[in-house]
Amino acid sequence: MMATKLSPDWITERHVDFEYKKYILLAWLQDVDKQFDQVRLYPPLSELVEHYRNAKALKESKQHLSDSFQQKLQGFDMEKFKVMYEKISSDDHLMAEVENILDFSLPRFALALEDGKKIYELVEKETNIQHIGLVPLNSDYGYLFLRGGRSANTEVYEYEVSIFEQPDDKYRALHISYVTTYSSSFIHTYVSMKTDLIRGNLRLPNPAVYAVETTMTIPFNETFLPVAKRLLMRKINTEAGHS
């Protein structure tokens, strides 16, 4: 679990001082590095992506950079019926400090992201996904079997793919919920597990079932589960003809 948290607005909130922000960033990146050493990819990897994108957007957009600072009420224009604000960020020295913070943080975010990407690719390389039984016409719902490292257990999750819309596009999202854990043996094969699940849940009479296995002994919630979810989503999208 991450010991520290870097605010989405860490660059512009509170004291905009290069040395202060440098200390905050390096402390957080040190914690990220410790997580990666333990092969804990999430949440640090997703947070790194968010911070890198935010910093890059600030760097590329001067207006965004200016607007990100706090504003104070100056008055009200009665003719235009418009509230007027005074930017606190009119100080050139302040803007220069932000530029220095961005110049310092962007390459360090990029390096940390590269480290996280290498770990992710290694885990993915040692992980495979397969169908269990026949694949139904609709694979947007079913079960996900997970078995990792030397564990004798198979963790079972029910999954469902949903579509949500945003102004610019439609997106497919994967939702999972824990069902049960089977102790793997000659009695509990993947096929027998699937049969048992169908008998116990008439709501899913013909589910798609995928098994994800890894040879690595890695943190389950922080690494194996999120990597397995991405593999499952990619496979479903590929089979359904989605990009």
Contact 210, 144 (CB under 8 A): yes
List, for the chain, all residue ranges whose pLDDT scores fall below the cut of 50.
73, 76, 78, 83, 85, 88-89
pLDDT value, residue 164: 73
Is the same domain home to 132 and 230? yes
Q: Is residue 152 part of a domain?
A: yes
Is the same domain home to 45 and 74? yes
Q: Is residue 12 part of a domain?
A: no
Q: Which of 125, 145, 170 is the last residue of a domain?
A: 125
pLDDT value, residue 78: 45
Q: Which of 94, 125, 156 is the last residue of a domain?
A: 125
CA distance 11 to 58: 10
Q: Is residue 11 part of a domain?
A: no
Q: Which of 72, 107, 125 is the last residue of a domain?
A: 125
Is the same domain home to 229 and 201? yes
Is the same domain home to 23 and 110? yes
| Alpha helices (H) along 129-189 | none
Q: Is residue 3 part of a domain?
A: no
Is the same domain home to 195 and 109? no
pLDDT in tens, 175-201: 999 999 999 777 889 999 999 999 999
Q: Which domain holds residue 214?
A: 127-240
Angle, vertex CA 88, rays to CA 80 and CA 99, nearest 5: 125
Q: Is residue 1 part of a domain?
A: no
Is the same domain home to 162 and 135? yes
Sign of the CA dihedral with 115 first, then 120, 159, and 240 last = positive
Is the same domain home to 107 and 135? no
Q: Is residue 2 part of a domain?
A: no
* CATH classification of the domain holding 133: 3.40.1530
pLDDT value, residue 83: 47
24 CB neighbour count, 10 Å cutoff: 18
The pTM for the full model equals: 0.81
Is the same domain home to 134 and 203? yes
Is the same domain home to 175 and 105? no
Kindly report the backbone phi and psi dihedral angles of residue 172, in degrees, each rounded to the nearest multiple of 5, phi listed first.
-105, 130
Q: Is residue 10 part of a domain?
A: no
Q: How many domains does the chain have?
A: 2
pLDDT value, residue 73: 47
pLDDT value, residue 176: 97
